[in-house]
Amino acid sequence: MTVGRVAIVEDDRALLDQIRWALKSTWEVFSAEDAAAGLALLAEEPDVFLIDLRLPPSREPKEGIELLRAIRERRPDLPVVVMTGERERTYALKAVEFGAYDFFRKPVNPAELAVILGRAFERARLVAENRAFRDEMSALHSFGPIVGKSPAMRKLFREIEKVASSDATVLITGESGTGKELVAQSLHRGSPRASAPFVAVNSSALPEALAESELFGHEKGAFTGAVSSRAGKFELAHHGTLFLDEAATLSPAVQAKLLRVLESRKFERVGGSRTVSVDIRLLAATNEDLDKRVAAGTFREDLFYRLNTVVLRIPPLRDRSEDIVLLIDYYREKWGTHHGRAPRRFSPGALDALVRHGWPGNVRELAHLVEMLTLMVEGEEVALDDLPGLFRKGSRAEASPSLEAPAPESESLPMAVARFERDMVAVALSRAEGVKARAARSLGIDTNQMRYLCRKYNL
């Protein structure tokens, strides 16, 4: 009975035959004689890789190192054991630095090789079990793409399950970046309308003069530039769900028409006289206090009561710190897969700093940070020093650049100025959700200068 599957990459045929003979009774063996053919052995789904560092065409150690890196990029958890010559300890250590599980020096000792491969296989088995456990726990701690295990999030998941199958209008509240659209999508997927369109509208992005046309459509010639008739978002969402984000920003005129549509499910396009009937479920979201808007007279009270039939509140990330590590794990896997990179581990120091951060941008800020670290950190582990300066300060208050923190005694004035500048740029990017043009405007600089600073500080 075989222990597992091993892929061997070795161009010395005599040595390759010796290793195959030594392992064939306990391992299913696949082999190749150069790096390109070795990389193709991934298709055989081996449990362990065994590679020589000196491979064709150059037979320099760089060939094996590059093969190791390519394997690690595609299968980060696959153990790779390297073989080196008697005087090549430096290269062997370099291979370990790049992610090799272990190494041994030629000539091959079958007993030593069996022990090393056995340990590597056991590690692969444990990693697979841990991944399966994480997947199981993730399923328990998520609702579709919404991740959380805190009491507040478990309560939210139960509420979504209760109202998803109904046609009730739902008002989703929460700070910017908490995931209001994800909740709306989950409500849609859990409803009888799941196979029909889900149409999302960001009300704050609609120009006031065109908001009514965007929502309800217009007829040809209704206004300058209306060269043809056009259906609005309500018609596009027919039989499905319309998600109205940032509903508090709607103008009084649009609020009045929206109220009539919610009451009758009928409206006329801008410039038209034909009545259009629609069958939609409305979900709305806001990061503002609509009660205060109503009291101030900027939001219609009757519309408010139409929208808040059911209210789902998403807690800010700072109020559910037990979810932060779970979210980091979710996004490091997501961005690793998305960008074709090995998911980055986070050191205990880095995780501690992230848990203590105030997260003014909520889950969106965390997602952008993990994506940036996935792309920019060269090693397999994200250390505390890899985090932007504002995270290393460890404040739970909303992060903002400050000169109050004492500079290290060895820090020169130019170094302190650079640190302050880097923190300013990092905070601006975080608040602008990664949009450099918006961050540049908030700092009073032009976009070219912002790009230069991002390159300079590796942001």
State the first-to-last Cα distance of the chain, in angstroms, to the nearest integer. Answer: 52
Structure confidence by residue, pLDDT tens digits, 366-394: 999 999 999 998 888 999 989 988 787 64
Which residues pair with residue 170 across a beta bridge? 283, 310
Please give the pLDDT value at position 237.
92
- CA separation for the pair 144, 138 (Å, rounded): 10
CB-based contacts of 50: which residues, under 8 Å, 6+ apart? 6, 7, 8, 9, 10, 19, 80, 81, 82, 83, 117
State yes or no: pLDDT of 447 exceeds 70: yes
Say if residue 286's pLDDT is above 80.
yes
User: Per-residue confidence at 141, pLDDT binned at 50, 70, 90?
Assistant: low
As a whole number, mean pLDDT of residues 96-122 equals 86
Mean pLDDT to the nearest integer, 57-71: 90
Per-residue pLDDT at 131 exceeds 80: no
* Residue scoring higher pLDDT (169 or 406): 169
Token match 């999508």: residue? 185
* pLDDT digit string, tens, across residues 295-320: 999 999 999 999 989 999 999 999 99
Report pLDDT digits (tens) over 196-253. 999 999 888 777 778 888 888 888 877 777 778 888 899 999 999 999 999 998 888 8
Confidence at 134, pLDDT banded by 50, 70, 90: low
Q: What is the model's pLDDT at position 449?
A: 80
Domains of the chain (ranges; CATH) run: 4-137 (3.40.50.2300), 145-315 (3.40.50.300), 318-456 (1.10.8.60)
Q: Which range, 8-12, 139-143, 401-405, has the best average confidence (pLDDT)? A: 8-12
Q: Judge whether residue 401 has pLDDT over 60.
A: no
Q: Residue 399 — very low, low, confident or very high, per pLDDT cuts 50/70/90? A: very low
**Secondary structure of the chain in HEC code, one letter for each residue:** CCCEEEEEECCCHHHHHHHHHHHCCCEEEEEECCHHHHHHHHHHCCCEEEEECCCCCCCCHHHHHHHHHHHHHHCCCCCEEEEECCCCHHHHHHHHHCCCCEEEECCCCHHHHHHHHHHHHHHHHHHHHHHHHHHHHHHHCEECCEECCCHHHHHHHHHHHHHHCCCCCEEEECCCCCCHHHHHHHHHHCCCCCCCCEEEEEHHHCCHHHHHHHHHCECCCCCCCCCCCECCHHHHCCCCEEEEECHHHCCHHHHHHHHHHHHHCEEECECCCCEEECCCEEEEEECCCHHHHHHHCCCCHHHHHHHCCEEEECCCHHHCHHHHHHHHHHHHHHHHHHHCCCCCEECHHHHHHHHHCCCCCHHHHHHHHHHHHHHHCCCCEECHHHCCHHHHCCCCCCCCCCCCCCCCCCCCHHHHHHHHHHHHHHHHHHHCCCCHHHHHHHHCCCHHHHHHHHHHCCC
Q: Is the pLDDT of residue 406 over 50?
A: no
Q: Is the pLDDT of residue 397 over 50?
A: no
Least confident residue range of 14-18, 139-143, 172-176, 341-345: 139-143
User: What average pLDDT does this structure show over 179-184?
Assistant: 94
